[in-house]
Structure 1
Amino acid sequence: MKLRRLPLFRVLTIYVFACSAMLPAFDTPRAIAVHFPISYPAISFLNARTGWILAARGTAVTVMRTSDAGRSWVRLARLSLAFNEPSMQFVDDRHGWISTVGPTFCGGLKRPPCHTVLLRTGDGGKHWSRLVAPATNGYAITFVDSLHGWLLHSQIPCKSICSRSLYATVDGGMTWRLLPAAPRLSLMTMSWANREHGWLGGGDARSCISSIFATINGGRTWTRQLALPKHCR
């Protein structure tokens, strides 16, 4: 039997028709729901059973609490803020603080300026009020009781390696004062045992030496306790 040759455009027409029959037809465009992943950027526990956590999805942040070591959680409050590496701490069943820097992707060239967001609760996390921040880039907060706390500030943007400074409060965050004697280090972290004894750790951009400093008077004076090996060349 002699095969009949079909023109190329007829073959393509048949192929397209056959394929289109297998595809679903949409009369109108359909909106696709985009679900952001949930992250947990901050957590604070008082003891082995009682703690709080921030559950973030996009710019919506929910404060949640557990009283059974994390087996179940209760939603307390919802906050609509842009969070960049938030810090949260509770010192008892009622008093807690949140510190973060916003908006998202702030600072630097061609970006909106950063500002510190400080929040405080006095009822265990159900309601939050905004405090006046002492600096534009406060990124870590620590309290030892309902009144005494400290805030680390980072200078962003800066010409080279950003150094950080330390602020203190004695009224729960209502007012803050700069501690000028605190060492100005880069990548600085802090830890406090009580209102008098605390430690700062970080690197000196000029000498390339990382050190740990200690205070016994709430941050008015500091002494170097340990010098670590150089962290740059």
Structure 2
Amino acid sequence: MRLRIALGALTAAACVLAVTPVQAQAVTGPRWEPQETGVTARLRGLSPVSRQVAWASGSAGTVLRTVDGGRSWQNVSPPGTEALQFRDVEAFDARRAVALSIGEGTDSRVYRTDDGGRTWAETYRNDEPRAFYDCLAFFDRRHGLAMSDPVDGRFRILATEDGGRSWRVLPSDGMPEALPGEAGFAASGQCLVTAGSRDVWLAAGGAERARVFHSRDRGRTWTVADTTIPAGDPARGVFALAFRDRLHGIAVGGDFQPGLPSPDAAAVTRDGGATWQRSAVPPPAYRSGVTWLPYLPFAAIAVGPTGSDVTYDGGRTWRTFDTGSFDTVACTGDLSCWAAGEQGRVARLTLGR
């Protein structure tokens, strides 16, 4: 939906949880530690690889990389892309990453680097005027998908089997029909997420119901389920998803228009997205990004323009711990978490006792 271009962004943030799995059980009190990126772009794309390596992307053709845990960030933006918005980036290591620019028609493009951003190759340029790509996700280093708003009444799925070097549009006959006005939100790079080698979920909004689509075969066939996230307006719906395995997931969203309330801005599933239950104590406002915390199986963090919230019970209840603006958040398996936002703002997450 075209309102996505106006969505506000978050800080390209790094967060390191310097604890062991055993220590993590006694850790409480998350907080953000701001860092400096040297840019003013709004950073909605985020892909941490490890404690030391992370990539972030955003407006004005910006792509950033850190290899020292966020102490310094390198601007590795593809040349000549200043008019593009890189709303999603997926990195494999310090050298290899794939970035997605969003927009109508040819503004939707995919770029890949194999040398840490020194050079980039444009590997896909959309030639369908009605397509508008929102998000990118990978199952492994070779297999990945990108999703577009509906074309001819169905969400459009792009697939790669060589790490983003080449792409093809998948047949749409396995995709359920979209509702009138239904689309994705390019707000945090989390409207398309994977778990395991074959499962992928797609978040949607802008229609009379906020829904989540699920594929068990890498995007060839899909099912769809209603959620409890607010809907019924082009600015409302599911903005971000996070799955810690094939069954347990969290959805966040609401109404992104400033000053408007967003009750029921989070929902949880325990059956892979077949059914969704509203959070008993949801975040107090619209949230655009969400991630599970490593080594804390029931802990997750959600972020948005008005604050950050934490849950310790799998998404049933949430507590605000910060009131700063962030758009996206992500963690890695080696106990590092990162978040990103507006004005090139960066933060690192730490856990106190």
TM-score normalised by length of structure 2? 0.44
Q: In structure 1, give the amino acid aligned to 2:202.
A: L
- 1:142 pairs with 2:146: no
Q: In structure 2, give the amino acid aligned to 1:79.
A: P
How far, CA to CA, are the matches of 2:146 and 2:137 in structure 1?
A: 7
CA contact (8 A) 1:38 1:55 kept: no
With over 3 angstroms needed to count, the CA separation of the structure-2 counterparts of 1:47 and 1:67, relative to structure 1, is same
Q: Highest relative contact order (Cα 8 Å, sep 6+), 1 or 2?
A: 2
Offset at residue 119 of structure 1 (A): 0.6
CA contact (8 A) 1:196 1:216 kept: yes
Ranges in structure 2 where 5+ consecutive residues have no aligned partner? 1-38, 185-190, 234-353
Aligned residue in 1 for 2:302: none
CA contact (8 A) 2:88 2:136 kept: yes
CA contact (8 A) 1:209 1:231 kept: yes
Offset at residue 131 of structure 1 (A): 1.1
- 1:91 pairs with 2:111: no
CA contact (8 A) 1:134 1:176 kept: no
Aligned residue in 2 for 1:198: 200
Q: In structure 1, give the amino acid aligned to 2:92.
A: V
CA contact (8 A) 2:41 2:62 kept: no
With over 3 angstroms needed to count, the CA separation of the structure-2 counterparts of 1:168 and 1:232, relative to structure 1, is same
Q: In structure 2, give the amino acid aligned to 1:187.
A: A
Q: In structure 1, give the amino acid aligned to 2:148.
A: H
Q: How many residues align?
A: 179
How far, CA to CA, are the matches of 1:152 and 1:135 in structure 2?
A: 14
CA contact (8 A) 1:96 1:122 kept: yes
- 1:118 pairs with 2:110: yes
With over 3 angstroms needed to count, the CA separation of the structure-2 counterparts of 1:73 and 1:170, relative to structure 1, is same
With over 3 angstroms needed to count, the CA separation of the structure-2 counterparts of 1:91 and 1:193, relative to structure 1, is farther
How far, CA to CA, are the matches of 1:211 and 1:146 in structure 2?
A: 28
Aligned-pair identity in percent equals: 24
Offset at residue 97 of structure 1 (A): 0.9
TM-score normalised by length of structure 1? 0.63
Aligned residue in 2 for 1:220: 220
Report the RMSD for the aligned CA atoms in angstroms: 3.1
CA contact (8 A) 2:154 2:175 kept: no
With over 3 angstroms needed to count, the CA separation of the structure-2 counterparts of 1:62 and 1:190, relative to structure 1, is closer
Aligned residue in 2 for 1:31: none
Aligned residue in 2 for 1:132: 124
Q: In structure 1, give the amino acid aligned to 2:47.
A: S
Moved more, 172-181 or 132-141: 132-141
Cα offsets for 1:136-169 (capped at 9, x unmatched): 432322223232111111359x9xxx86322222
- 1:165 pairs with 2:167: no
With over 3 angstroms needed to count, the CA separation of the structure-2 counterparts of 1:145 and 1:123, relative to structure 1, is farther
Offset at residue 90 of structure 1 (A): 0.5
For the pair shown, the structure with the greater C-alpha radius of gyration is: 1
Ranges in structure 1 where 5+ consecutive residues have no aligned partner? 1-36, 108-112
Aligned residue in 2 for 1:101: 102
With over 3 angstroms needed to count, the CA separation of the structure-2 counterparts of 1:45 and 1:229, relative to structure 1, is closer
